[in-house]
Amino acid sequence: MVGDKLFEENPTLYAFLPLFYMVWADAVLTPSEITRIKKLLEKQQWLTPEEKTFLLSFLNPTSPPSPNQLKSWLKEIKKTSDYLSPEMKSSLVEIGIKLAKVNSRSGTEETINNARKPLEDIEKALGVVSRESAYHFNSLVKRTTEEVGTSSVDHNEINKILDGEDAEIIRKVKTLLQDPVFEYYKGESIHEYREQVLEWCKLLAQQGLGGIAFPKSYGGQGDMRKYFIVMETLAYHDISMVIKFGVQFGLWGMSVMFLGTEKHHKKYLKDIGSLKLPGCFAMTETGHGSNVRGIQTTATYDHNSKTITIHTPTKDDGKEYIGNAALHGQMATVFAKLIIDDTDYGVNAFVVPLRDAKGKTVKGVTIEDCGRKMGLNGVDNGKIFFDQVQIPLENMLDKFGSINEKGEFASPIASDNRRFFTMLGTLVGGRIGVPKAGLSAAKSGLSIAIRYSNQRRQFGPEGGEEMVILNYRTHQRRLMPLLANAYALHFALDYVTQRFLKRSDDDIQEIEALAAGIKAYSTWNTTHTLQECREACGGKGYLSENRIDTLKADTDIFTTFEGDNTVLMQLVAKSRLSEFKQEFSDINFFGIINYLTDQAKITLTEMNPIIIRNTDEDHLLDSDFHLNAFRYRERDILSSAAKRLKHYIDQGMDSFDAFNQCQYHLFNVGVAYIESVIMEQFVLKVKSLEEGNSKNVLKKLCDLYALATIEKNKGWYLEHDYMEGAKTKAIRRMVNKLVREVRQDAIPLVNAFKIPESCLAAPIVTRI
Amino acid sequence: MVGDKLFEENPTLYAFLPLFYMVWADAVLTPSEITRIKKLLEKQQWLTPEEKTFLLSFLNPTSPPSPNQLKSWLKEIKKTSDYLSPEMKSSLVEIGIKLAKVNSRSGTEETINNARKPLEDIEKALGVVSRESAYHFNSLVKRTTEEVGTSSVDHNEINKILDGEDAEIIRKVKTLLQDPVFEYYKGESIHEYREQVLEWCKLLAQQGLGGIAFPKSYGGQGDMRKYFIVMETLAYHDISMVIKFGVQFGLWGMSVMFLGTEKHHKKYLKDIGSLKLPGCFAMTETGHGSNVRGIQTTATYDHNSKTITIHTPTKDDGKEYIGNAALHGQMATVFAKLIIDDTDYGVNAFVVPLRDAKGKTVKGVTIEDCGRKMGLNGVDNGKIFFDQVQIPLENMLDKFGSINEKGEFASPIASDNRRFFTMLGTLVGGRIGVPKAGLSAAKSGLSIAIRYSNQRRQFGPEGGEEMVILNYRTHQRRLMPLLANAYALHFALDYVTQRFLKRSDDDIQEIEALAAGIKAYSTWNTTHTLQECREACGGKGYLSENRIDTLKADTDIFTTFEGDNTVLMQLVAKSRLSEFKQEFSDINFFGIINYLTDQAKITLTEMNPIIIRNTDEDHLLDSDFHLNAFRYRERDILSSAAKRLKHYIDQGMDSFDAFNQCQYHLFNVGVAYIESVIMEQFVLKVKSLEEGNSKNVLKKLCDLYALATIEKNKGWYLEHDYMEGAKTKAIRRMVNKLVREVRQDAIPLVNAFKIPESCLAAPIVTRI
């Protein structure tokens, strides 16, 4: 059937057929390799010269077999394949020998065995490539890569752990979002989109969600915690809606609530909560974003008329990016420098009308549309310029600073700056709402990408079914640590929320730093997660219908607004420096540094022989090891930053420059601190759970967060002799193991977010 | 004037005023710190009880000073400030003492000096915070942070190095793009946008740019190099236009050119080049993207009618994401499995009509619009389904496979797979065009972000001007290494292009791997760069008018199309494994591994004592050190991957599973190889330049690329004892130094790209 009499005369020659097939089939063989095979053949004593010439003719590059010839060889080879055990199928030699035997007459056993040695030599020379090509011949090989059995994890149980005491309000919001009126806007018109988003916000206000944090006397529930949960849950839907919601009820509403006094509450809060009075929060100026203390808009008080005049000195001082400004806002909380008799009393807040009820801008107010943005195009951001706009004195939000009857400025806080930062401090809730909304977007992205990757098949063993892409190790490496991050941040944000709600004067500084740090860390994680999700879904991830596009574009600005992340991390670091000062208040600054350094040295010395090279699985998965490693890093980076700062200052550098010199270092102080907080909270959460499958899988996620983070920072740990190379390598292997294991439960773990299908709305996963 | 007689009686008390000011001003002092200051005061023997009580009254939290009081203190303190030298201004103690002296009568010298000790104690206890707050009092402090003098770098000279021999065609394309007809489309209608992009492509075709790579006999210039340069330069403008251009002239045109024969060239090429015949490249199917060999569309030959029937078996087998399909394409190169007499001859290519000249789809063809995408919305991507569409035999693109007169399949390449990959190999140019276009987008982003950061001021020393944000260390750390990457990749892509243009059968496999790897590495770099640029520009970066939005969204898919990056890196790794096989063709696979391992060991032993802890600046900036480090890593990762693979296979794992187990490792093999190639080319380029400023600054960028990459991989180097912690720390410091230095020349370095202002078109930088 292979069509030559020599094969019939000496069936042993059949043993070479798989090899010849391979030469002309997929595996790339170079000319020098073909030469090598020729040489090996020529050495064989048991072949006749005629047979050698015949065999060599199969290797002639100038006369390759025809496609049909190649197909007939394959057909021949495959016949034998059924007689072979799976192990034998992975060897070209075994296949060849078997083929020869099948075609042989009796008594040729020895001749056939003669072929084994040269075949083995050739196979060795080809190495891995030959092994791989052997799979051409196997149509029924059983694969070991179908690794997903039935997960023992109950997504309902995990969902309960996630939702906790907030389950009821979460359920309410999710139910609401599934109403057909919340169908996504799919048109091209920004104008229509903005009106749709306003409409949605009105519906939410009707349900009492807008003013949920406002006092009961003004139509609210006085429940700040619920407000955060509402933000977080709404963020499974259109993010423009969440931001518009946050602008109206969080920024505009809460600036009146926290910076104003009873007269303002009475006058505005109810109408804000019902969205009868849409408003803005006008702080940022073109010239001053991060350095908001430097804003230039003026509010000049005239004691005769008891009025305040709001004015934008130059174009660069216009209020920019102001949500609700371009179209819908009727009033705004405007931040401006209060001037009384030519004296500047720092930044204060004022309620300023922008438009009448019909939408016409009032005299002196000019508003420009910010136009199309990367995302959040359902929010009407605008620029506002004030040309000598007069407001009555009562419009000053006077909780922290007021003008008395003598026309003098009065405040319980003497320093302008400290007063301003106290005012900002009351608004720090935005730094909790934003990362919570961002985390929800990341959860949506992970739900889409992980569910898709669990269906999408691509490549597979020759002759076998294609494999779901979530079974590929690189895919697991990309997505599973991000799933662990989502869980880690869920618990960490919950912790920060609780701390925020229970804050007092004693810990407010710590909590502000916590909120700043978690906002930065979490929103960067959202950007990173959604980028990976987009890529993990390939071309499907690029189609807008699958929503990763929008999730990503809408949340991209989260790393900038409510505080630029890089700037926030510096704040965290500065707070950490002064917090230590507090913790050791009876030793001086030098002492603190020495103390920290000594601490570090002692810890290191203690564990040196045992820990730094311990690669036992028990140890690597021990939460105490994780916590120690995170805390050690945090302390060491902090004390070395303090030392460097001191060094520069001692050299005569001024502090602004010294801080700039250490800026990258300080940035890492912030990150290390936040990672340490996240780690602690995750460990505490897992410890608090009842034994069972849910606890086990969350412990695995916790371990994955811990070890993937340590792996990310392994350069640092090795530099500081905290670990040896053998240990960091063992950690890498453990991360590989954990991503494989977590992958087994990945579907229930994303289902546990219970994101309504109508919100996910990605045809790649919801159409099935 | 501070308003109390005790000050007048004992002017020494003035020495405490700066301290009191600070307590109530910005610096955050905790209650325990105030307590501590109180205690220190109480210990002072030289103060009368009355004076102590008086001073303590300034620290009472229940009766803080009024804002006006605080302002009067500041006024008082500032008066003295003029008398102090800059160094003294950084000390609260010096300011206090001076203040006391200015207000004192004669003979109180000693009393004043008595105050020095307690003040110093307090300052020590407050550490850095006190130093910083001292700046409140200094309105005229000279800053050292204005670090940018006049750069000595000539951007014209650097531009010549970048453009090289291609300067003329680059200039031509840039001139063209500045014509007003190329004004960006700013409307909301996708339909209008697509028509605009088609119009632009027609204009480019009129200029002879479309068919520039086609033979002269068909209206072209036969210049493939120019084609790449055109793609690269067009990418300073709208990326949708570049992709539409690439689909028409690169994919559709070159598939006809490379896979077809003379009859096809005659019939189609001229009309393709002039855009008279818009067409598509229909390879990817919904079910098969990366694993394109598995596509299911069939092309069934009937020898009686000499026709081929193109058919889409199931919905999942439709051609998806096909550019030019939704609206404009009249024909397509369709990839389908050729079936003759029930035998499958693998994937071949056919020219299939889609629409008549009026735009009506032909019988049997159904086209769906892919709809809105994350970006590239000027390209009309569509899905194509074929329902038994008959085409004549001559429409088979028959360079690599044909059907002879007997109705038999004939091909110079016997194996279906090898034939298919050979066909794909001819189209590998896309893997050069795409990263080149992506790099141009990254250059646009860097030009915008760096120029903006050099103007944008935010924060600054107290009393000083705000500082340009590019002078912040974290900002430099974010952007300068990306600027170095852009230069590194520019030269590396140029190298790969040259190799590609001069390819032969001997090195085609190496070049395909090179192109795959550089495509993956470079497009990821584009995504990463534009993300950083967006964040570096803050809110301005989020506004679409500043174009980072579009640059980012349009290029995001570059990591997926022309081969998913993760998959491509695996290809690189596999190629590296087999290339070594080639390099050592007379030792077997085991031998290769041992050889590599021995090599590694020897290299390591040789340099152990000298190199691994060498932190001399000369050494750290030595290109040989860089090259050795990159190459060592590349070799070591490769040999350890080979060993792991062999280990798994020896254990009986089949090769598909073994490769999957090592997938993450193999991914790193690919990355390390590409980094090594980029490094080599950058070093060669710099060496080739004449001595001078341009060479110096490019050497700096080369060093920065080298050291920032080593820093990124420092965990690996430390794990493998290639460097000690002291050295990696020194490298971090050197990177910090280099980013500061490169920042000085950052403006000429982005200006050297010479991107037309009308293309950059970002108001944040072009309006000035």
Q: Identify which of A427, A379, A445 has the alpha carbon closest to the alpha carbon of residue A191.
A: A379
Nearest by CB to A649, which of B131, B472, B548?
B131
Substitution target from A69, A368, A654, A710 for chain B, most B beta carbons within 10 A: A654
pLDDT band per the 50, 70, 90 thresholds, residue B587: very low
Beta-carbon separation of B145 and A33 below 8 A: no
Q: Which of B545, B548, B589 sits opposite A124 (nearest CB)?
A: B589
Which residues of chain A fall below pLDDT 50?
A: 1, 128-129, 131, 139-144, 583-588, 590, 606, 768
Residues of B in contact with A462 (CB under 8 A): 656
Contact list, A578 vs chain B (CB under 8 Å): 28, 30, 129
A69 closest CB neighbour out of B69, B414, B645: B414
Nearest CA in chain B to A414: B67
CB contact (8 A) between residue B408 and residue A68: yes
| CB–CB contact B70 A718 (8 Å) | no
Partners of A509 on chain B (C-beta within 8 Å) are: 28, 30
β-pairing, A331-340 with A343-353? Answer: antiparallel
- Per-residue CA distances from B492 to A445, B519, B682, B751 (Å): 35, 11, 7, 20
* Mean pLDDT, residues B740-761 taken together: 96
At B252-301, the pLDDT tens digits run: 999 999 999 999 999 999 999 999 999 999 999 999 999 999 999 999 99
Torsion of CA B713, B515, B244, B202, to 10 degrees: 130
Q: Do A588 and B125 touch (CB under 8 A)?
A: yes
Strands of A319-322's sheet, edge to edge? A319-322, A382-386, A365-369
Residue B741 backbone phi and psi in degrees, to 5: -70, -45
Helix A31-43, helix A109-126: angle, nearest 10: 150
Confidence (pLDDT) at A686: 98
What distance in Å separates the CA atoms of residue B470 and residue B478, rounded to the nearest whole number? 10
Dihedral sign for Cα atoms in the order B741, B743, B747, B753: positive
pLDDT tens-place string over residues B556-577? 999 999 999 999 999 999 989 8
Nearest to A696 by CA among A704, A705, A684, A686: A686
B375-398 average pLDDT score: 98
Closest chain A CA to residue B474: A664
**Chain B residue whose CA is closest to A472:** B660
Q: Do A288 and B462 touch (CB under 8 A)?
A: no
Local confidence band at B496 (pLDDT 50, 70, 90 cut-offs): very high
- Whether residue B454 contacts residue A107, with contact meaning beta carbons closer than 8 Å, is answered with no
Provide the terminal-to-terminal Cα distance of chain A, rounded to the nearest Å. Answer: 48
User: Testing the interface with B: which of A532, A718, A764 to mutate, by most B Cβ within 10 A?
Assistant: A718
Instruction: End-to-end CA distance of chain B: give it in Å, rounded.
Output: 49
In this complex, do A474 and B566 lie within 8 Å of one another by their Cβ atoms? yes
Mutate to test the interface with A, among B368, B510, B655 (most CBs of A within 10 A): B655
Residue from B30, B33, B415, B567 whose CB has the most chain A CBs within 10 Å, to mutate: B415
Count how many pairs of residues, chain A against chain B, have C-beta atoms within 8 Å.
Answer: 373
Residue A188: which of B143, B188, B553 has the nearest Cβ? B188
Q: In chain B, which residue's Cα lies nearest the Cα of A591?
A: B125
Are B64 and A538 inside 8 Å of each other by CB? Answer: no
Nearest CA in chain B to A563: B538
What pLDDT sits at residue A60? 76
Annotate A193-214 with DSSP letters as a single string.
HHHHHHHHHHHHHHTT-TTTTS
A652 chain-B contacts, CB cut-off 8 A: 87, 90
Are the beta carbons of A383 and A289 closer than 8 angstroms?
no
Q: What share of chain B is helix, strand, coil (3-state, %, to 5)?
A: 65, 10, 30
Q: Which amino acid is at A438?
A: G
* Closest residue of chain B to A730, computed from CA coordinates: B719
Min mean pLDDT across A548-557, B104-113, B716-725 is at B104-113
Return the structure tokens found at B180.
């007003």
pLDDT tens for B127-167 read 544 545 555 555 433 344 556 666 889 999 999 999 999 99
B391-401: burial string, b at 16+ Cβ within 10 Å, e else: bebebbbbbbb
CA distances from A488 to A164, A568, B97, B220, B585 (A): 15, 20, 53, 59, 51
Torsion angle, CA of B38/B42/B46/B52, rounded to 10 degrees? 70
Q: Which residues have CB under 8 Å from B465's CB, separation 6+?
A: B143, B457
Instruction: Express each pLDDT in A471-495 by its tens digit.
Output: 999 999 999 999 999 999 999 999 9
CA distance A49 to chain B (A): 25
Question: In this complex, do A373 and B542 lie within 8 Å of one another by their Cβ atoms?
Answer: yes
**Which structure tokens are listed for A385?**
């310029």
Counting Cβ atoms within 10 Å, is residue A93 exposed (0-12), middle (13-18) or buried (19+)?
Answer: buried
Contact B290 A538 (CB under 8 A): yes
Average pLDDT, chain B: 89
Band of residue B767 on the pLDDT scale cut at 50, 70, 90: low
Nearest to B729 by CA among B610, B608, B615, B581: B615
Indicate the DSSP class of residue A269: I
Confidence (pLDDT) at B36: 74
Dist. CA B352–CA B220, nearest whole Å: 24
- Directed axis angle between helix A167-177 and helix A224-234, to 10°? 40
Check B144 against A589: CB less than 8 A apart.
no
pLDDT score recorded for residue B125: 64
* Min distance A309 CA to chain B CA atoms (Å): 21
Shortest distance between the Cα of A380 and any Cα of chain B, in A, equals 12
Give residue B572's pLDDT. 95
Q: What is the phi/psi pair of residue A211, to 5°?
A: -95, 20
Q: Which among B70, B655, B714 is the nearest to A415, CB-wise?
A: B70
* A614–chain B nearest CA distance, Å: 15
Contact B68 A126 (CB under 8 A): no
Select the residue of B127, B289, B460 nearest A589 (Cβ to Cβ): B127
- DSSP string over B3-63: S-HHHHH-GGGGGGHHHHHHHHSSS---HHHHHHHHHHHHT-TTS-HHHHHHHHHTT-TTS
Predicted model pTM: 0.89
Residue A105: burial class (beta carbons within 10 Å; 0-12, 13-18, 19+): exposed
Q: Give the gap in angstroms from C-alpha B166 to the nearest C-alpha of chain A.
A: 34
| Residue A587 confidence (pLDDT) | 44
CA distance A123 to chain B (A): 9
pLDDT at position A141 is: 37
Q: Is the pLDDT of residue B510 over 80?
A: yes
Burial of B61 (0-12, 13-18, 19+ CB in 10 A): exposed
Task: Please give the pLDDT value at position B768.
Answer: 44
| Best of A542, A662, A731 to mutate (most B CBs within 10 Å, chain B) | A542
User: Could you identify the residue written with the tokens 């004195």?
Assistant: A393
What residues are paired with B350 via a beta bridge? B334, B396
Spell out which residues of chain A touch residue B736, defining contact as CB-CB under 8 Å. 664
Chain B residue closest to A322 (CA)?
B539
List the single residue in A129, A460, A548 with the smallest CB-CB distance to B578.
A129
Specify the 3-state DSSP secondary structure of B358.
coil
| CB B346 within 8 Å of CB B416 | yes
Q: Which residue has the higher pLDDT, B456 or B37?
A: B456
* In the predicted structure, residue B504 carries a pLDDT above the cut 60: yes
Are the beta carbons of A539 and B527 separated by less than 8 Å?
A: no
Residues 6+ apart with CB under 8 A from A358: none
Name which of A145, A471, A718 is nearest B719 (Cβ-Cβ). Answer: A718
Nearest CB to A30; choose among B71, B582, B656: B582
pLDDT for res B140: 34
Of B26, B534, B588, the CB nearest to A127: B588
Residue of A nearest to B120 (CA): A588
Tokens of A569: 């991390």
CB atoms B371 and A581 under 8 Å: no
Please give the ipTM for the structure prediction. Answer: 0.88
pLDDT of residue A66: 84
Structure token digits, residue B356: 């008549």
Are the Cβ atoms of A473 and B663 closer than 8 angstroms?
A: yes
What is the predicted pLDDT for the residue at A151? 82
